[in-house]
Structure 1
Amino acid sequence: MELLDKDLVSIQEVRSLIKKAKEAQSILAEMSQEQIDKIVKAIADAAYNNAEKLARMANEETGFGKWEDKIIKNVFASKMVYETIKDEKTVGIIDENKENKTMKIAVPMGVVAGLIPSTNPTSTVIYKAMISLKSANTIVFSPHPNAKEAILETVRIISEAAKSVGCPDGAIGCMTVPTIQGTDELMKNKDTAIILATGGSAMVKAAYSSGTPAIGVGPGNGPAYIDKSANVQVAVKRILDSKTFDNGTICASEQSVVVEESMKDKVVAELKNQGAYFLNAEESNRLSKFIMRANGSMNPQIVGKSVEAIAKLASLNNVPSTARVLIAEETRVGHNVPYSREKLAPILAFYSEKDVEAACEKCRAILLNEGAGHTFSIHANDEEVIKKFALRMPVSRIPVNTPSTLGGIGASTNLMPALTLGCGAVGGSSTSDNIGPMNLLNTKIVAYGLKEIEEIRGTAKAEAAVSSVSLEDKEELINLLVKRIISELK
């Protein structure tokens, strides 16, 4: 029977892809660490060698970001991720503790459902394929329709490279007819082991509601605090470098700058000196109407666009051609306050607060409004200030004195290099990690017996006896009990 409806074609395609992926995974599960590592290296090398081609494809197809920066993202997803994970043990016995007499054995999860966004399409495919195959899992991708061709070409390149060194056919699959119904089938299919969801809030929520174990990430909305102990010139450089990287399409990028009032003039002057354009009240109001859609979601018209394109869209005629970012002064935080929300574009909010305490509370308010669990960045040389903010921010990662975009994903810090950043329970995520191969493994624990029941029973009786005596005699009885246990262990 010929399938004519797109949704039915998509569902059938997904079922076929999962079937092939499951068969391939049973072969991967029997491979040695050396064989798995060879496959992962082949994927990394092929992706690295095609970094520019795939970057250009992604930029041309989506219209998001800068192809030059997308090359860096592809290199990061291939070379940097590979260098971090290449020596990780992910097959067989991965840890042995002779003192505690325990042993950990890696168990691959099975078929991974990889949901891919349009903002970082090729780099996310490379990264998710590598961490999945490294842990002896297979992966089936659901591509964002607006980046389908770039994603399919990435899958073709890395899949062919993997197969050339012994990877079974079907280990890396991708839908060619992406539909909501097909993606729903991918997430809910009985043979899908886990979902790696990177994208919009609705999609991540659907992943967690699917009934299949999922690792999803919520929106980023990280404020950047510049303390009076910071080198302001360097801090501003890092923030602007970060916010303009691929036109702000990485969710760990800064969304607002927060300072004390005493620092305001100095920071504003430096921001302007380095290419920031501060909107006046009328311009700020005009642009705010283009940041969010009526349903409260981010307007795709601004995502990954240049300052020039955004200024044209909002009829901001006074913005100079040299402007790197657009900044609006803001005091409010809320769901209906666009500048206090996530803006995957070269747009920043600017807050000045009366003192450090007020600045800390403003950063918390911004994150709890949107972006809880994700990323907060700070620029300071006062370690006590850094600790104060770190203890109070409801986030999973805190880049210090570094561009938040590159720090959050682990490019300029020693965090796990990743393009899926867990937000923890506060952000509605199952983990707070930068996701790597170990997040896609289960473990079997082998534990040798160390005590017989008589010893456990005797210890319990002795403890019960201690609890029934007077306070004065307890210390002596405890000392006797400790001596007895030490003697028995010898």
Structure 2
Amino acid sequence: MNTTETTIRAVVEQVLQQLGSKPATAASKPAPARTSGGEIPVISSRNGAAFSAGSRGSDGVFHSVDDAVAAAGEAFEKFRMRPVSDREKVVQIVKTLCEQQAEELGRLEMEETKIGRLDHKVEKLKIIKLVPGTEFLKPTAYTGDRGLTMIEQAPFGVIGAITPVTHSLPTLAGNVVNMAAAGNSMVFNPHPSGAKIACEGVRRFNREISRAIGIENLVTIIEKPTIESADEIFQHRGVKMLCVTGGPAVARAALAAKKKSVVAGPGNPPVVVDETADIDNAAKCIVAGAAYDNNLLCIGEKEVFAVAPIFDKLMDAVGRHGGFRLNSTQIDALTKLAFAPPKEQGGHAILNKDLVGKDAAVLAQMIGVKVPAGTQLLYGETDTNNPFVPEEQMMPFVPFVRAKNTQHAIELALEFEHGFGHTAIIHSRDMRTTTMMGRLMNTTLFIANGPSMAGLGLGGEGFLSFSVATPSGEGVTTPATFTRSRRFVLADDLRMI
């Protein structure tokens, strides 16, 4: 094993050890539903029971990486010879299943992961229909005196993907739509704490794909993800490309692998609110974005820098839109629960993962506070020394920091985004200020006067994807992200003009 492989393995080991969860196991298997006329059936679990049980290689679920990659490779060789219409069938199967079965699958994900909000788990599956498909693959043609040149977007082959616990099945489903539309097959290594629901989704997708186009194991997954399985996917010669969603360590591991890697890295999205902002709209948007799935979204508002002249008005407005304001004593109590001191001087505060994705009412109860029914978000004034400001905490508490002026607010936003290049938000009616911040932040997503979700086509124009590739630079992924550029040149012929 060379030095690079050793480094990658060490980083992957660090990542998966941080997951702190035992691998998932499967339970009972429902009888396959019958289908007629090409319809995609609603497949319900028996007696509302949990997950299907699969034998080795059953419906795309495998015990070993070698077997999964081999099966996905065989599927790709068949899939690559099929018409684009078969890709469209696969895309529609995934979108339809996610929409039809969102209530059941969302509940199963919530029961397994125990983080976030059930209504948003369901919604995230229903909106998979907004993920782009084959329509994003546009050929380019050049004609002239010397003939015809065509540039097409060709598939890579087997794509290896690492998915997070925060959106286990939605991320996987969105990736399947993008990757299959591009003509690829895939092997997934899910987060151990979301492995059951990820495997169940793969089983259901594969059953319907097999019925529709006669190809098995187009989507494969490791049933019991481990340190070794993640490392094997990164190193496997049969895996031609990687797509990784996770924190800084897993992003570094993917970028160190000797193959093309699309990497959705960490974020700590700041919000700036200046004195020209529509304060009521800003408050409404901050609550909507930060409270979504209890702030599990990587694009979600994590800290707010508001200028002094409107600071108190903004704080009052947030309370009118579903926020509950904590006083300084209560914030200190919550901070002590949420973070342990750094292990070394200058290090990061240590996040209490047991609080990640919990409801605002649960967090409040833990510090002896009872909040009104309907409270979506806790918030309060802090300074920049509070660890809620620099850390991507993923819980429904947002710190508000009082800035001296707009320039100061933007400087703080730049500092605490940490150069991740992920997401930044501003509420301002001054287009010069908005332009200046957008250029300075240089983030993949930059949203003005809307909630963070607007950056993914939810309340703003554009399209959806659950993989936002920041360190590798592809941005919000599409089917084109998972293709190779192929040029075909026909010299001296087809000169039609």
Contact kept in structure 1, 2:308 and 2:402, CA below 8 Å: yes
Shift of 1:345: 1.3
Which residue number corresponds to residue 39 of structure 1?
90
SS in structure 1 at match of 2:354? coil
Which moved further from structure 2: 250-259 or 156-165?
156-165
Shift of 1:299: 2.7
Which residue number corresponds to residue 19 of structure 1?
70
Contact kept in structure 2, 1:399 and 1:413, CA below 8 Å: no
Q: 2:130 aligns with which of 71, 80, 100?
A: 80
Which residue number corresponds to residue 374 of structure 1?
422
Q: What are the superposed Cα offsets for residues 158-216 of structure 1, whole Å, 9 maximum, x if unpaired? A: 11121121152121011112111111111211111111111232222222233332111
SS in structure 1 at match of 2:448? coil
Shift of 1:272: 2.2
Cα 1:76/1:433, change in 2 over 3 Å: same
Shift of 1:132: 1.0
Distance in 2 separating the partners of 1:80 and 1:11? 29
Which residue identity does 2:135 align to in structure 1?
Answer: D
Q: What are the superposed Cα offsets for residues 351-402 of structure 1, whole Å, 9 maximum, x if unpaired? A: 111111111111111112xx62100011222222211211111311111222
SS in structure 2 at match of 1:317? coil
Shift of 1:244: 1.3
Contact kept in structure 2, 1:303 and 1:343, CA below 8 Å: yes
Which residue identity does 1:324 align to in structure 2?
Answer: Q
Distance in 2 separating the partners of 1:192 and 1:291? 39
SS in structure 2 at match of 1:71? helix
Distance in 2 separating the partners of 1:312 and 1:120? 26
Shift of 1:64: 0.9
Q: 2:304 aligns with which of 243, 248, 257?
A: 257
Contact kept in structure 2, 1:260 and 1:353, CA below 8 Å: yes
Which residue identity does 1:97 align to in structure 2?
Answer: Y
Q: 1:165 aligns with which of 172, 194, 212?
A: 212
Bigger RCO (CA 8 Å, 6+ sep)? 2
Which residue number corresponds to residue 130 of structure 1?
177
Distance in 2 separating the partners of 1:126 and 1:198? 13
Shift of 1:289: 2.6
Contact kept in structure 1, 2:88 and 2:133, CA below 8 Å: no
Which moved further from structure 2: 411-420 or 289-298?
289-298
- Compare the two structures and name the one with the higher helix fraction: 1
SS in structure 2 at match of 1:17? helix
Which residue identity does 2:487 align to in structure 1?
Answer: I
Distance in 2 separating the partners of 1:263 and 1:213? 47
Count matched residues.
426
Distance in 1 separating the partners of 2:442 and 2:331? 28
1:438 aligns with 2:489: no
Distance in 2 separating the partners of 1:28 and 1:322? 48
SS in structure 2 at match of 1:399? strand
Q: 2:363 aligns with which of 281, 305, 310?
A: 310
SS in structure 1 at match of 2:477? coil
Q: 1:194 aligns with which of 234, 238, 241?
A: 241
Give the TM-score normalised by the residue count of structure 2: 0.80
Distance in 2 separating the partners of 1:124 and 1:50? 16
Q: What are the superposed Cα offsets for residues 403-451 of structure 1, whole Å, 9 maximum, x if unpaired? A: 10x123332223331111121xxxxx1114101111100011245789x
SS in structure 2 at match of 1:338? coil
% identical equivalent positions: 23
Counterparts of residues 279-428 of structure 1 (less than 5 Å): 279-292=326-339, 294=342, 296=348, 298-313=351-366, 315-317=367-369, 319-320=371-372, 323-332=375-384, 337-368=387-418, 372-404=420-452, 406-423=453-470
Distance in 2 separating the partners of 1:89 and 1:203? 29
Q: 1:111 aligns with which of 158, 163, 182?
A: 158
Unaligned runs of 5+ in 1: 1-5, 424-428, 451-490
Contact kept in structure 1, 2:469 and 2:475, CA below 8 Å: yes
Contact kept in structure 2, 1:409 and 1:421, CA below 8 Å: no
Which residue number corresponds to residue 53 of structure 2?
none
Which residue identity does 1:89 align to in structure 2?
Answer: L
